[in-house]
Amino acid sequence: MEGGRDPNRKEEIADTYIENLQQQIYFMELELKILKEKVIEDEKSSGIGGLFDDEKTSHEHITLLKTKYQDMRREFDRVNYELDKARLETMGDKFMLAAQWNTNKEQTKETRRKNDD
C-alpha cells in the first residue's frame, strides 16, 4: 500500500464510477427516446399537428400556413389597393358633381332673378 491507500481499491472505485456513468447514459438515452416518441404522439393528437390528418410535422404545417398567410396578405393588399383607387375615383366624381350642382344652382338662381325682373 502506498500512503496508506490501496491502489486496487482506487481502481475498483473508478471502475464502479465509470460503470454507473455508463448506466446513467444508457437510461438517459432511453428517456430521450421515450420523450421523442411522446412528442411525436402528442403532436399528432394536440396542437397544430392535431388540426391536420396527415404525416406532416408541425414545422411543415407552420411553413404551409405562413405561405398561405403571405398569399392571402398579397391578395388583401391588391384588393385594398383597388378599393382605394375606386374610392379616390368616387371622391373625384363626387367633387365634380358637387361643383356642377353648385353651378347649376347658381345658374337657376340667376335665371329666376332675370325672369322676375
Interval 65-80: pLDDT, tens: 899 999 999 999 999 9
How many domains would you assign to the chain? 2
At 66, which amino acid appears? Answer: K
Q: Which residue has the cell 446513467?
A: 24
pTM confidence score: 0.42
Query: 24 and 61: one domain?
Result: no
Query: 63 and 108: one domain?
Result: yes
Q: Which residue has the cell 382605394?
A: 84
Cα(3)–Cα(18) distance, integer angstroms:
24
Task: Specify the pLDDT at position 1.
Answer: 47
Query: 36 and 64: one domain?
Result: no
Query: 22 and 61: one domain?
Result: no
* Secondary structure (3-state) at 54: coil
Model confidence at 45, pLDDT cuts 50, 70, 90, reads low
Task: Specify the pLDDT at position 21.
Answer: 94
Query: 62 and 38: one domain?
Result: no
Range of the domain at 72: 53-117
* Secondary structure (3-state) at 2: strand
Q: What is the mean pLDDT of the chain?
A: 85
Query: 62 and 110: one domain?
Result: yes
